[in-house]
Amino acid sequence: MNLAHGSYFLLGGYVGLTTAARTKSFALALLSGSLAVALIGLGMERFFLRRLTRQSLPQVLLTMGFALVFQDLALLVWGGDPYNIAVPAFLAQSVQAGPVFVNFYRLFIIGVAFAVGVVLWLFLERTRAGASIRATVDDAEMAQGVGINVPLLSAGVFALGAFLAALGGVVGAGFIGVYPGLDFEVLPYAFVVVIIGGLGSFHGVVVGSLVVGLLDNFGKALFPELSYFTLFAPMALILALKPTGLFGKR
Amino acid sequence: MRSACAVAVLFASILGTGFAARGEASAKGPINVGLLVPETGPLAANGKDMINAMKLFLEQRQNKLGGRPVTLVIEDDAGVPATGLTKARSLIDGNRIHVLVGPLSAAVGYAIAPYVTEKKFPTLFPIVSSEDLTQRKRSEYIIRTGWTSAQPSHPFGKYAYDTLHYKKIAMIGYDFSFGWEVAAGFQRTFEDAGGQIVQKLWSPLGTADYGPYLAQLKRDVDAVYAIFSGADALRFAKQYADAGLKGKLPLIGGGTFTDEHVLRTMGDESVGIVTALHYSAVVDTPANKKFAEAYQAKYSQVPSYYSEGTYVSCLALEKALESVGGDVDDREKLVAALRKVDLGSAPRGPIKIDSYGNPVENVYVRKVEKVNGKLQNTVVHTFPSVSQFWTYKPEEFLKNPVYSRDFPPCTHCQK
């Protein structure tokens, strides 16, 4: 349970913002934001979280502490003004299709999400490293026993998680902006997705994110008065019926 | 949760306290001014504007008010009511301040109001605009140097009908008291004039994607009225343009929507938005010219209404201290002087405090324009000396419930 995951999103957005402002390149912004935060994640795992293997409460406290530190550091470095990252001109335009306006950047976000999903799935299901990860998730001790380097694998997976969160942050910065407090705004979404889907399940996360995204948007459109409710009520309902989430095993 | 609280002790000239000719006031030592603002959390940038303005003012006055040196104590409320109350207590009881300036957040304002009233403590609210703080739940000890939420909305509603010739408007705004109040004041005078509000949509603070709301927005209206601020304003303006609505449906709104605090990072999508507020960084008064130039020179930024509001608090305090001869120990006397403040030339123009503790001031209708490559709120019309009650009689105004989600009722909204 990593409460600093929202901070990765935020830091990724800020690093991307600075890169985009300096180099005028959105691609470089994506790359630098994600890589910088992946390094931070790697450092956190190696020097702090590794000492707390399988101790979920200390992990929660430690990552919460990190989240607060990152929040204040970001405020110190980037100030508190809200920013939008400049996206390439061809993504910034909109076209009209019948009565509907389609903004290319929205399509780009959907495309990136889809690509990340497919690549992750292939990686987890079709590669040796992916099989090792699944084995470790199921039973770390046994995995270690059959010769899988679990500490190395954990560090890699953690860095990958940070990388993807930061990638989301840079892509998101072109749409929702970067500003103080963003970290703790995106965190609940991530948790709700994981909880609905079930811990440790890739399929669960895919289904969970679709459920959350659709419910949240249609909920806001159909019942604008209940916009907080539409996000958390389904989660409560699913947890009541199936405490491990839709696809969770534990 | 909090960063180290910044305690800025600005040094007074040692000579100043030595002169007997300065009167007994100066012999009593410095005046302690407490500033309660968010330095962390989502409102930190706006809190910084307030601190900047306060420091600029003290620097301009060589750190002296009413003939006495000033010690400034800044506390971070993080925009959280409970934290704000704790910090207000620590400022008043612990730091022995003589006057409190702040906070920024309305929620913090409501949290500390009963406390400062009970303590009979002279308090200046530069930003908090919740209507009832100078209306139905007013306190003898709280003097506003800012505005009430609906104060600029009242004249603007009339202006939208009379001058902009809008007949039907759809509204979207923050789903909490600030949004409701700003929108309600506009609705009242717009409908009094003959217009119709045909839709009111409310979105929570920090809405990431306005897509679902924009999809519902009625298209058969003359304009869309929006009330947001900060990151939400930035996002809404951008997504409004992305949805292809800019240029098709004119966008107007409450003043914070395009205030300089967010205009600084906005893009061309904001050009043409018309809003009303009691300030714009380009208001053409000699005092504003001096203030904005000095602010720009010191902080390389245009001042926002957060900056100007705090600066005006300082001006009001200075004026009151002059009239009581620098005597801050008699709180009742200081409060009485503050309530009588009449500033002929604040940056935003002339200001007079009404008998409810709220300024009577100009309201500016502003249009976002790009001048020399920079966005600014060009003043297109000035309503002079606007009171929080507009043209309504205070007694009758106060008989109504406070502006809210449901008051005034939306009689022209169809489901």
Q: Using one digit for the tens of pLDDT, what is the confidence trace for B174-185?
A: 999 999 999 999
Residues B206 and B337 both lie in one domain: no
Strand partners, B72: B33
Residues A83 and A168 both lie in one domain: yes
Residues A23 and A92 both lie in one domain: yes
B300-348 pLDDT per residue, tens = 999 999 999 999 999 999 999 999 999 999 999 999 999 999 999 999 9
Looking at the domain assignment, is residue B8 inside a domain? no
Q: What is the C-alpha separation between B130 and B107, in angstroms, rounded?
A: 9
Residues B146-164 have a mean pLDDT of 97
Q: Tally C-beta pairs within 8 A across A and B.
A: 97
- Give me the phi and psi of B107, to 5 degrees please: -65, -40
Residues A101 and A119 both lie in one domain: yes
Residues B164 and B221 both lie in one domain: yes
Q: Tell me if B202 and A225 make a contact (CB, 8 A cut-off).
A: yes
Q: Supply the range of the domain harboring residue A223.
A: 184-250
Residues B390-402 have a mean pLDDT of 95
CA of A234: how far to CAs of A211, A215, A237, A242, in Å?
Answer: 9, 8, 5, 12
Looking at the domain assignment, is residue B7 inside a domain? no
B72-131 pLDDT per residue, tens = 999 999 999 999 999 999 999 998 999 999 999 989 999 999 999 999 999 999 999 999
Residues B375 and B249 both lie in one domain: yes
Q: What one-character-per-residue DSSP string does B187-256 give?
A: HHHHHHHT-EEEEEEEE-TT-S--HHHHHHS-SSSSEEEEE--HHHHHHHHHHHHHTT-TTTS-EEEEGG
Residues A54 and A71 both lie in one domain: yes
Looking at the domain assignment, is residue B45 inside a domain? yes
pLDDT band at B1 (very low <50, low <70, confident <90, very high): very low
pLDDT, position A47:
94
Residues B368-379 have a mean pLDDT of 96
pTM across the whole model: 0.87
**Where is the domain boundary, A150, A180, A210?**
A180
Give pLDDT < 50 ranges for chain A.
none
Q: Coil, strand or helix: which one is B170?
A: strand
Query: What's the number of domains chain A is made of?
Result: 2
**Where is the domain boundary, A133, A158, A180?**
A180
Q: Tell me if B45 and A101 make a contact (CB, 8 A cut-off).
A: no
Residues A26 and A103 both lie in one domain: yes
Residues B81 and B184 both lie in one domain: no
Q: What is the CATH number of the domain that holds B90?
A: 3.40.50.2300
**Where is the domain boundary, B361, B388, B408?**
B361
Residues B392 and B264 both lie in one domain: yes
Flag whether residue B406 sits within 8 Å of chain A, measured between CB atoms: no
ipTM summary value? 0.82
Q: Supply the range of the domain harboring residue B70.
A: 14-147+286-361
Flag whether residue B215 sits within 8 Å of chain A, measured between CB atoms: yes
Residues B136 and B73 both lie in one domain: yes
Nearest-by-Cβ selection for A101 from B42, B216, B244: B244
Nearest CA in chain B to A65: B1
Residues A246 and A172 both lie in one domain: no
Looking at the domain assignment, is residue B129 inside a domain? yes
Residues A245 and A203 both lie in one domain: yes
Residues B10-17 have a mean pLDDT of 37
Give, in degrees to the nearest 5, the angle at Cα B319 between B52 and B315. 20
Flag whether residue B351 sits within 8 Å of chain A, measured between CB atoms: no
What's the distance, CA A151 to chain centroid? 22
Looking at the domain assignment, is residue B410 inside a domain? no
pLDDT, position B415:
62
Chain B residues closer than 8 Å to A217 by CB: 209, 211-212
**Where is the domain boundary, A154, A180, A206?**
A180
Chain B residues closer than 8 Å to A182 by CB: 231
Residues B30 and B119 both lie in one domain: yes
Looking at the domain assignment, is residue B6 inside a domain? no
pLDDT band at B15 (very low <50, low <70, confident <90, very high): very low
- Give me the phi and psi of B129, to 5 degrees please: -115, 5
B259-275 pLDDT per residue, tens = 999 999 999 999 999 99
Residues A125 and A242 both lie in one domain: no
Q: What is the C-alpha separation between B379 and B282, in angstroms, rounded?
A: 8
pLDDT, position B225:
98
Q: Does residue B18 have a pLDDT over 80?
A: no
pLDDT, position A97:
77
A174-193 pLDDT per residue, tens = 989 999 989 998 998 898 99
Nearest CA in chain A to B212: A221
